[in-house]
Each structure stands twice: as structure tokens, then as C-alpha cells.
Structure 1
Amino acid sequence: MFFKKYSICFISFFFLFFMMMIMFLLMMYFIMNNIVIFLEWEVISFNSVSIMMSILLDWMSLLFMMFVLLISSVVIYYSKSYMSSELNLDRFIMLVLLFVFSMILLIISPNIISILLGWDGLGLVSYCLVIYYQNIKSYNAGMLTALSNRVGDVFILMVISWMLNYGSWNYIFYLELMSNDYQMSIISLMIIVAAMTKSAQIPFSSWLPAAMAAPTPVSALVHSSTLVTAGVYLLIRFNLLLENTFFLKVLLLLAGLTMFMSGISANYEFDLKKIIALSTLSQLGLMMSILSMGMPDLAFFHLLTHAMFKALLFMCAGLIIHMMNDMQDIRYMGGISNFLPLTSLCMNISNLALCGIPFLAGFYSKDLLLEMVSMSNLNMFIYLLYYISTGLTMFYTIRLIMYLMINDYNLMSIYNLFEEDYVMLKSMFVLLFMSLISGSMLMWMIFYDPYMIYLPFNMKMMVIYVVLIGMMLGYLVSKMNIYSLNKFIMSYNLSNFLCLMWFMPSLSTYGLNYYFLKLGQNLLKNVDMGWSEMYSGQGIYMILKNYSIFYSFFQMNNFKIYLFSFVMWMMIFLFILFI
């Protein structure tokens, strides 16, 4: 009777929200008493082989689980309205739940085998969700996502085989030992490459904007706290192993370039969801680069604050796209603040949190990160990459606000934008509240001692300078035709290069994936179904077949054949004898 009265959406929402409250209370208890619990359960023991399931519960895993459960419960509640016309809504909710549980398995795993289960679960379910709207674009995007993530899966498998040297897969006990073992630096390389594929760093960036083919609630979940943050979380857990390795310097460069590239591409983009996806890519680059500078706590802090306002940003975008008859091009939008005031409020606050406007969630983490960068012993190139990327964030945010809120409405002359949906608004207001308070709340909880940062006045004001310059440029570009701007500033080819993510989608789609799949097809055709068939299965079959035909010819015929063959053999024998 209960299941008939309430849909699977509401049951899932209440269950996840209840679990989130439990995680919050546990996390507060663990943080205040400095507790870490390591649980090990022997699933099966046979002769000398024992299969163990281990779980690590500390403040970090509980806090991250709390955020994942909060965002996923709100997203499922939002889906009740957003996906209301969907016939297979239950199937969609089941896929989202599978996605969340895969992420939770990854979060609580101190064991590289169970990490692989969660890691692969995320990859498989994300493929199912990306191809949810079954069309050619979705299938291509799903294949690109799956194949890019498979690279990381292979590296995790190689880490599993390499860790056979240690006698156990509980990496948490061996991190210090591995970091002192020069031969084991290969593990740190594999972990970094795996994390780069999942968190879409250069050269694996092209799948992240392509994954926008998924329904918007999935995008809100994927881009805030689950799939793309798995790589960052893995590196936070392995940070002891990665200290002082050369690979971190390479990661710092690639993450900085990812920030810069996605910031520029977002300024050229006109698809609303892709602009937000590219902003996620920029923030992931920021997290990875801070990690590579040896500050995992700060990266984790930014990961959590970013999750809140990014999920809210996607939800607002979903509601706007819903109202616009599924139109995603921002050039057709405009004056939305007149029609959807509450959605515009949420959108603007989440956008300003993304820019790091003081006293919103993004300010506490982003400002701290940039000031720590200013204190660090970095070269000028990396320093400029950080600050230019921050300016670009402001640039595309103001451009987006201008196109959506202030410019004129361009879709049609007679329009009927219906009222805002209150189920969606309720779920958005939860995240709005968290976007306002989560920065200060997390700062009080995570950092026992305050960070004291002393900088010269101009370096201290550097963030303000780039934010103001980015704001001004965003306003100017949204007011003028971007193509006429390009005509004066840069050539068509350079503009095309910057617009298309440095040609990375073409390279990864046609270059890497196409040629590797073609190579696999040729190997299958020539080796498996060619030479090996000829000399094993088909070859033996043909030899046996010919022999059986030869023998059956003799068996099925009369005495004359044997007499004829006997005479022939006798003649050959006599011929050889007399010669």
C-alpha cells in the first residue's frame, strides 16, 4: 500500500535525505573526537585464500558522503517534476541510485579492488545515463565518455597487478612505504593518469562537454559531486604517495592549461549546458593543480563548496531550458528575470558563488586557494595561468548573466512562459541555502587552525583586479557581436582553435578513439578470424574433412577399386625395383 501511495522518487528522496542526516551526525562526532574506523569483513575463506571487504570511515569520507547524499536526494526530488513526462521514470531513478551507490563505494574504500568496483560502476552507469535520450548525438557522446574513462580503468587494473608486490590491496597501509620506494613511483604515475581521465584533464577533456547529452538532473549530479570528482578524491587519498614526484609537476602544468583552455572555450560557447560544463572543467583544473602543489585539504574544501553551487547552477539551467521549449542556445534567451524571478535569483547567486564574490560559498575556498598560490614558490607562467583563468571565470559568468537576464528575449514574438514549478524550486532552495552557508561552515569544521596569509598589497589585491577586469570584458563582449570582435583581434583559424577546445574533441574522437577501434577491428579480422582461424580451428577442420572424404571413398566402393589400387602399387614397386 505504501509503494502505491508514494512513488519511487519520494521513497528514494526520503531514504537518501535520512542517510545524509545520519552521516552529518556521525561526521560531527568523528571530527570532534578525532576518530577513524577501519572495518574489515571476511566475505569468504577457502584454503589459504581469503576475500576481504574493507571500509574506511573517517571525517573526510563521511563529510563527502554527506554532500553526495544531500545533492543526490535533492536531484531525485527535482527529477520528479523535470522528468514527469518520462514513461520510464522508475528506470531513470534506479540508474541514478546505482550511480550514487557506486560513488559511495568508491568513497569508503581503502582497498584498490573495491575502488575499481566503484570506479567501473560510475563509468558503466554514466554511459547508460548519457545515452538515455536515444539519438545519434547521445550515442556518440556515450561512446566517447565510456572509451575515455576506460583508459583510467586500465591504469587502475595495472595498479592492482603492481600491488601484488606488497601482499595486500589495502593501499592505505602502504602509502608511506611506497613513497620511499623509488621503483614504486610507477604506481603514482598510474594513479595520476587514472585520475586525469576521470576528472577530464588535458588530453582527456573532450568527453566532459559531450556528456551534456544526458538529462539535466544527471548533469547536476555528475558535475557536482560524483563522476568528475572521483579522480580528485582518489588523488586526495593517495596524496602521501605523490609527494615530491616529478609527475606532480607535469600534472600542475596540465591542470593549469585545462583551466585556461576551458575558460577561453566557455567564452565562445552558446550552449547553456556546455558553458556550465566548461566552468566545471575549469574548477576541476583548479582542484588538480592545488593538489599537485601538495595541499589536499584545500582541494577537498574547494571540491565540497563547488559541489553545492554547481548542482544549483545546473538545476537553474534545466528549469530555464524547460521553460524555453528545450532550447539551449543562449542567443535566443533574454529577460528571463522578468518571467522567472526566483529561478533568476538562484542562478545569479550560484554564478556569483562560482566567481568567488565575498561571503558566498565559493569565496572561502577560491580566495584561500589563490592566496596560497601567491605564497607558493611558483614560476610566473603558472602564476599567470591561475589568475588569468580566474578572470576568465568572471568573464563568461557576466556574459552568461547578460545574455540570460538583461538582453532582449529573442525566441519568438508571441510567447507563453508558464509559471515556475514549485517542486523544482523547493529542491533549488535547499542548495541555495547551502551555497550561502557551506563555505563558512566547512571552514570552521575542516581547519583546526586558521591560515595566516601575509602578502604585499598588490598581490593581496590581485584577485580583485582580475575579477574587475573579467567583469568589464564580459559586459563589453556580451554587448557587441563576438564575430566582429574576432575580425579585429585575431584570425578566423585562431578563433576556431580557441572555440573548439584546442581541437581536442576532433583529436580524441577521430584521432585516438577512431584509430584504436579501427586497429581493434583489423586485428580481429586478420588475427582472430584470419590466421589463427586458418591454422587452428578452420585449418584442422579442413584437414580432417579431406581425410574423411578420402577414407569414405574407399569404404563405400566395391572390390574393383582395391584390385586396381593393388595392381597400381605392384607396378610402382616393380618399376622402382628394376630401376
Structure 2
Amino acid sequence: MDGIVYFTLVPALVMGLAALLSGGLSWQHDRGWRLFKGLTITALLATVVSAGIVAVHAWSAPPASFSMFGLFVSPLQAMMACLVQLLGWVIGQFSARYLEGEAKQKNFVTALSLVLASVHVLLIADHWLLFVAAWSAIGFCLKHLLCFYAERPFALLASHKKTAADVLADSLLMLTALIAYVETGSAHISVFVAHVASHGLSQLSSWCALLLVVVVVLKTALLPVHGWLIQVMEAPTPVSALLHAGVVNLSGYVLIRFAPLFEQATLARHVLLAIGLVTCLFASLVMFTRVSIKVRLAWSTVAQMGFMVVECALGLYTFAALHLLGHSIYKAYAFLSAAEIVTHTRVQRMAGKSVFAKLSLILAPGLTTLLVFAVQYSAGAQLWPAWWSLVLALAWAPLLWQVVGQSSSLRLQSLLFGTLLTLLLTLVSVLFHHLPLGIQDHPDLAAGWLTVLAMGLLYAATIMIQWMPARLDALHRWVYAGFYLDEFYTRWVLRLWPVSWGKSTHANY
């Protein structure tokens, strides 16, 4: 089955060819984009074919993973690779129209192609050096996309802050690779993971787990280094879609890949849980105060990344993989269609004077809890713990919230749609757990109930925001400013790594 491993490299080579050809072209809009679109389709088809082959073997002999010459392919990698190449094709299609008339389209296509190639290599890399090099290359190529409008100081600031986080993360990742090599005598990730799974956690491997937690925090834009992800709104919309739908999600994949390590490393897992919960609660509250659609989406991404990290810290890796897929697809759609969204979200349109709005806030969690438990137990097996069903019910309760000014028929339609969507999401979760992805869940009971409490407090805070907005005016400024955490981080970065961009500007964040 060596051919499968080799064939999975084809998409990366195709996107590398796209970067090479676009870099050497005398750029013409139609000709250049036509070539890029053709190569992205080729890469996508090659990825689908290789994923199909892996899926066939997974069903016949799960988990059907293949490793050789520094590459590792499993159903999870194949699924992720399909997602990445699909997003690359969609973003490319959108960019061809969005960037028409721009002067640096050639540079954009070159950088985008290299990002897609590097992400693909990261997904299938099994050698530590290849893994580190691919993740580092993603950050380097993204810098050119973030600075597409070089005359915008906030774009340069966001890029600078991300570069600072990437440099530290890459250095720590290299240190992690060195420690893993000393521990196992091998430079392959699969050997290290298998060693920890069979021999347990040593002092060196526990340091690897803690270092990976810091790397994930830096790469995923969790607190307190989240600010650059908000400020990339200064970059073109396709870049925002690429970041929020694809690149920041990679840390979730990395946590799933190193699941056997984190199952042994209790301290690292609890640190990850604490950071994830705080990030999720903090970003969710800040999101309520924002008016700009794209900025709200950016804060939503920070919250979702925190929630994804929480899922991994709780040992619910199957849910984390499903969350990764769903969030990537949704955020790509949301950013690429943001120009058409001119009304506020449901939360913004809710008013304290509406009786139905108040009742929906209170009753929605109870109804979603009934729906989740009904679908879960009708499946014939308890695929996840009961406390996680409560978390899902709280997370999906906003689907049943009512909007001010609706007629009785519209309220009924909204309720039915929210109910059906909740049932569909739960059913998809059940089906996803039966896929042979090679993922093993190990739920943490004590941490699980702590998560239920945290989600309950977040939901209670949501009710207070809707019912008593006047009483929270004193906190509004602090919440709107993100409690000034990003300002402290920005000053720290500029003090350690000073840089000047000339004339300053202001933006509404």
C-alpha cells in the first residue's frame, strides 16, 4: 500500500506547481486565474481519490493507517485533506472576482498556493522536521497575504503580532521535537505517540505535552494572543476566510493527532481545559457587544477555537473532529457572504420587552436537552456522556430563540426550524461517531461537569445581557474592549520586538 502514501503527496505538489507557475507568469487576470482554478480542481480530485482509497481500507480493516518515509495517512488525515483542498478551490473561485483590478493578484495566488501546499504537508507529515517546517511555512506565507494591503498599519500590526507568536511557537515546537527524539530515539511522530501509549508518561514526554499546549495557544489565537485574529479584518475577505475556516483549526487537528499523549498528561490537559474555557466564555461575551458583522465573526472564531480546545481537553476527540469540519465550512461561507448580511443576528434583534423572547431564553435549553437525549438514546448506545449532552443542549439552545416582531406563524416556523436543526445536528453527531476514523474518546468526568457549570454561567450571562442591559452598562466598556488584554499583549510584543510603519490610523474594533 505504499502507493497510497505517495499519492497523498500529489495535491501538495500540484499546489506547489501552481505557486511556481503563477510566480513566473506575466500576470493576466483571466489567464492566471484560469490556470490556478484548473490546478486547484486537479488537487481536489487527487485528494478525493486518495481519501476514497483510504476510506475503503478503513471500512475493511480499521483504522487502516499507512506510514512510510516521514508521511502518515489515516482516515482522519484524508478527511482533513479533502476539506483543505475544497476550501482552497472555493476561496480561489471567490478571489478571482473579489480581487479583479488589484495590482498584486500574482503575489496573492503564489502565497495562497504555498499555504495550501504547506497545510497539506502538515496534515500527512510524520517526521518531526517535516511537521515543524510545514507549520512554519504556513505562517511565513500567510504573512504575505495578511500584508496584501501594505498601506494599512493595522494589517501590518496584525501580521507582526502573528509573526511574533509564530516565531515563539515554532521555537517551542522544535524543542518539543528534540525532546521527543531524545525520549524515543526516533524522529517520527507516530513512534513517539505509540511509545507514550504503550509505556506511559515519562518526565520528558510530560514536558512535550506542556510545550504542545503553549504551541496550540499561540497558533490557535487563544487568550491572551487572540488580538491578531481580530485585526486580520484589514486583509482581503478571502484571507479572512482562509484563516478562520482553515488555518486556525489546524491546532485542533494537532491535539487529536497527539491524543494518546494528552490522555496520559493530566496537568497539560487541565491547563488546556482552563485556557479553552476562559477563551470561550470571554470571546462569547465580547461578541455580544460588537456591531460589525465581520468582527463579530472573528470573535466567534476565537470562542469556537476555545470550545474546540475544551472538547480535546475533555477527551472528546470525535466531537472535536466534527466541530473542526463544521466550523471550517460555516466560517468559509460566512466570510465569503458577509457583504450580503446587512441585518443583525438574532441576539442583537432580541429585546427585553418581548414576552416570547424572554420565554424562549428560559425554555430553549430544556427543549434542546430533551431533543439531544432522545436522539442519543434512540441510537441504541450511549456514544458520549450525559454531561456532554447538557453542554450540547446549552450550545444549541440559541437555535430556538425567538426574534422580536415576529407574527405567530413566523414564530412557529422559527421554532420548527430550530427543532429540526437541533435534531439534525444530534443525528450527524451520532453518525459521525460510527465512522472508522481511528479516533478513541476518553471522557473526563470531573472536568466534564465543570464544563457544564461554565456553559451554564455563560448562558445565564446571556439572559442577563438581554433582560437587564441597563444594569450592565458599567461593564459594557470593559467587555467591548476585550478587558484590554490585547492592548497589553500588543505593548509587550512591540516592546520586545519594536517596529515602525510610519503614519498611524484608526479602526473600529
TM-score normalised by length of structure 2: 0.70
Identity %: 17
Does 1:200 find its partner at 2:221?
Answer: yes
| Superposed displacement of residue 198, structure 1 | 0.8
Give matches, 1:57-456, under 5 Å.
57-134=73-150, 135-165=152-182, 166-178=184-196, 179-224=200-245, 226-245=246-265, 246-320=267-341, 372=385, 374=387, 390=395, 394=398, 442-446=432-436
| Superposed displacement of residue 469, structure 1 | 8.0
Deviations 1:194-235 (A, max 9, x none): 1111111222222221222221112112212x3211212111
| Superposed displacement of residue 4, structure 1 | 4.7
Letter in 1 for 2:172: F
What's the counterpart of residue 421 of structure 1? none
Cα gap change, 1:438/1:394 in structure 2, threshold over 3 Å: closer, same or farther? same
| Superposed displacement of residue 447, structure 1 | 7.2
| Superposed displacement of residue 114, structure 1 | 0.8
Secondary structure of the residue aligned to 1:502 is helix
- How many Å separate the matches in 1 of 2:35 and 2:179? 43
What's the counterpart of residue 4 of structure 2? none
Cα gap change, 1:152/1:7 in structure 2, threshold over 3 Å: closer, same or farther? same
Secondary structure of the residue aligned to 2:337 is helix
- How many Å separate the matches in 1 of 2:482 and 2:393? 17
| Superposed displacement of residue 445, structure 1 | 2.8
In 2, are the aligned partners of 1:394 and 1:474 still within 8 Å (CA)?
Answer: no
Structure ID, larger Rg: 1
In 2, are the aligned partners of 1:141 and 1:210 still within 8 Å (CA)?
Answer: yes
| Superposed displacement of residue 275, structure 1 | 0.7
Single out whichever of 26-35 and 245-254 deviates more from structure 2.
26-35
| Superposed displacement of residue 162, structure 1 | 2.0
Cα gap change, 1:196/1:285 in structure 2, threshold over 3 Å: closer, same or farther? same
Letter in 2 for 1:180: L
Cα gap change, 1:442/1:295 in structure 2, threshold over 3 Å: closer, same or farther? closer
Cα gap change, 1:200/1:394 in structure 2, threshold over 3 Å: closer, same or farther? farther
Secondary structure of the residue aligned to 1:294 is coil
Match of 1:10 among 37, 44, 47: 37
Does 1:516 find its partner at 2:496?
Answer: yes
In 2, are the aligned partners of 1:290 and 1:369 still within 8 Å (CA)?
Answer: no
| Superposed displacement of residue 160, structure 1 | 2.4
- How many Å separate the matches in 1 of 2:57 and 2:401? 41
Does 1:36 find its partner at 2:52?
Answer: no
| Superposed displacement of residue 20, structure 1 | 3.8
- How many Å separate the matches in 1 of 2:219 and 2:455? 32
Secondary structure of the residue aligned to 2:102 is coil
Give matches, 1:488-527, under 5 Å.
488-491=471-474, 494-510=475-491, 512-517=492-497
Cα gap change, 1:108/1:304 in structure 2, threshold over 3 Å: closer, same or farther? same
Secondary structure of the residue aligned to 2:435 is helix
In 1, are the aligned partners of 2:76 and 2:437 still within 8 Å (CA)?
Answer: no
- How many Å separate the matches in 2 of 1:436 and 1:292? 21
In 1, are the aligned partners of 2:308 and 2:323 still within 8 Å (CA)?
Answer: yes
In 2, are the aligned partners of 1:23 and 1:66 still within 8 Å (CA)?
Answer: no
Cα gap change, 1:467/1:503 in structure 2, threshold over 3 Å: closer, same or farther? closer
In 2, are the aligned partners of 1:102 and 1:119 still within 8 Å (CA)?
Answer: yes
- How many Å separate the matches in 2 of 1:307 and 1:357? 26
What are structure 2's unaligned runs of at least 5 residues?
1-29, 350-367, 408-423, 444-451, 501-509
Letter in 2 for 1:489: L
Letter in 2 for 1:146: T
Secondary structure of the residue aligned to 2:72 is strand
Letter in 2 for 1:171: I
Cα gap change, 1:69/1:503 in structure 2, threshold over 3 Å: closer, same or farther? same
Cα gap change, 1:64/1:438 in structure 2, threshold over 3 Å: closer, same or farther? farther
| Superposed displacement of residue 6, structure 1 | 6.9
In 1, are the aligned partners of 2:119 and 2:135 still within 8 Å (CA)?
Answer: yes
- How many Å separate the matches in 2 of 1:306 and 1:300? 10
| Superposed displacement of residue 496, structure 1 | 2.1
